[in-house]
Structure 1
Amino acid sequence: MSTVITVENLGKKYLLSHQTQRQPYVALRDVIAERTVAFGRRLLHPFRSTVNGPRSSSEEFWALKDVSFEIKQGDRVGIIGRNGAGKSTLLKILSRIVEPTTGRVKIKGRVASLLEVGTGFHPELTGRENIFLNGAILGMTRAEIKKKFDEIVDFAEIEKFLDTPVKRYSSGMYVRLAFAVAAHLEPEILLVDEVLAVGDAQFQKKCLGKMEEVSREEGRTVLFVSHNMAAISLLCKKTIFIITGKIIGYGNTADVIKKYSNGIDESIIEWVRPPYT
């Protein structure tokens, strides 16, 4: 199988602002007096800066750093790690929602992503209209979308609400439709974040089955972020383990999950251990 995703030395940096001077309590009369004086100064000296507030400093935060890997066509790859490890940032970069700070990403094929509840659909449009909108974004013709339309509606189980604006959908209904659209409109690469946790257990099982089907039978590539190790084990042959923005494990899913679980166990032991001096 050919390589469809290549990531080389990928990094994503954010600047975090910090207030360095904490303001003490100030009485209302003092605030009024200070602002009155400041207003008078602006009238007398309109071009002089009057800023005299707390200073702020910024700190570099690397959500991802020196990340490199390859994924082949038809692979089903899990991505695991604690909250804040960089999993969602990675999927946003692969979805071209966020630009990387350093490194290179090469992707072959159309990408459909299901990242956060509330993204990907226009809230004022109906479910029907959003199906056609998403298909057009993926480069499909109206005729191609129509061929898949009934399958999408049947899978999502929202036929009764198809002509209702999606802003009126519950989070569960939204995710059902969003997944159905992403899975059935034939992207070569499907990226799915933890949003499936919003759905009920039966629908989650249905989604896992569909992701396996499109990968095994149609050769599509699936990247799946989850904290559910049972779901990762069922779906994914390979798994990426991320800690604080760096990949510390990539390979056989059972081996990587064992490494992840050992790290969790050690953290729990450290947390409950009484402090001895």
Structure 2
Amino acid sequence: MSLFPRLIPVLLVSDGYLVKPVRFQGDTYIGDPINAVRIFNEKQVDELVICDIDATPKRTGVNFQLIEEIANEAFMPVGYGGGVASVDDARRITGIGIEKVILNSAAVTEPDVVRGISDALGASSTVVSIDAKKRLTGGWETYSERGSRKAGMTPADAARRAQDLGAGEVIASSIDREGTFSGYDTKLIQTVTSAVSIPVIALGGARDMSDFHQALAAGASGAAAGSTFVMTGKHHAVLINYPAPSEVRTLAS
């Protein structure tokens, strides 16, 4: 395992505001994403992900102004997803100073966009996010457009296709666990990691450090979380937080 464990806060944005849904539904207002980025700077976060969760469903496209503000504030590498629909979008995003471009819906409906971005920017800058939900009959279905549209493939199939198209990394997100503090779906993580050779980032359901350990033990290359890093306590009060560097280093053991 890497000596530098990847523990990644994920900030979800809607209409320019930081929000937190549960199972992709019912957005709770959290605050200003720029303020959150500043706090994560102070807490020495090594990596950050920003996702505009309504850019594609609402057809608003990429919020380049917000991206530029984030890039100007962030001291750490940032990945951005939301409304990315073309190679030109990706070039403009990375030109602003964002290191990674994350694709979700476009990876389902326009797979050639993934290949084009990988060819233009490199695999290391190309990430595919896979949103998965359990089927009643067993296994998982992949969804796009904020969990509203079935993709017609399993998460393992989606991950293999992403790798074949040139993605250098995938994010495996559990819709069922998102925002619930019920722990990662480790079986989902194992299913996706066993399907590909590229890094897999686990997302959805993290509660505490023990969950991060479990995600990495299940094969994930990194553990990502949203609610855990923007809420605290049994009443889920808003508080931007992140473990001390010494705690993060324990994930390497």
Identify the TM-score tier after normalising by the shorter chain.
Answer: 0.3 to 0.5
Q: Normalized against structure 2, the TM-score is what?
A: 0.37
Structure showing the higher helix proportion among its residues: 1
TM-score, L = length of structure 1: 0.35
